[in-house]
């Protein structure tokens, strides 16, 4: 029962972390810039939640999004363990998005 809730939380956090200040119509904007900005926003949400000492569930969703987008941005190139963790986070984010899209049909 909690897996669908977590999937919804991960997708919601991912949507909330999309950088509003980036102009996606810019031809020179690359995926790395988008991923880095999204990861930074998600990590900021983790830190803010940690400081307020709120529940782990949404904080975990924020961290998952942050790690997934760090991996997508290539931040973990030199760290094999973090690449593996980042890849798992990317898969989880993909599963969450797929699951939520299937529920909307």
Does a structural domain hold residue 97? yes
Which of 25, 33, 12 is closest to 93 using CA atoms? 12
| Within-domain flag for 60 | yes
Q: What is the pLDDT of residue 31?
A: 73
Rounded alpha-carbon distances, angstroms, from residue 15 to 19, 28, 51, 80: 9, 22, 22, 27
Mean pLDDT by 10 residues, the chain (105 residues): 81 80 70 79 79 71 84 84 90 88 83
Helical packing angle, 31-52 and 56-72, nearest 10°: 160
| Domain-embedded: residue 24 | no
Q: Is residue 92 part of a domain?
A: yes
pLDDT at 84: 92
Say how many domains are in the chain: 1
pLDDT in the model for residue 40 = 83
State the residue range of the domain holding 58. 2-19+30-104
Q: Confirm whether 34 is domain-assigned.
A: yes
Report yes or no on 48 lying in a domain.
Answer: yes
Is residue 77 situated within a structural domain? yes
């Amino acid at each position: 029962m909690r897996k669908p809730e977590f999937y919804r939380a991960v997708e919601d956090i991912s949507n909330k972390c999309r950088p509003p200040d980036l102009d996606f119509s810019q031809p020179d904007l690359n995926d790395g810039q988008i991923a880095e900005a999204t990861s930074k926003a998600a990590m900021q949400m983790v830190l803010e939640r940690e400081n307020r000492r709120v529940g782990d569930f949404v904080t975990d969703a924020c961290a998952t999004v942050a790690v997934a987008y760090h991996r997508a941005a290539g931040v973990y190139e030199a760290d094999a363990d973090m690449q593996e963790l980042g890849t798992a986070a990317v898969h989880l984010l993909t599963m969450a998005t797929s699951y939520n899209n299937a529920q909307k049909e």
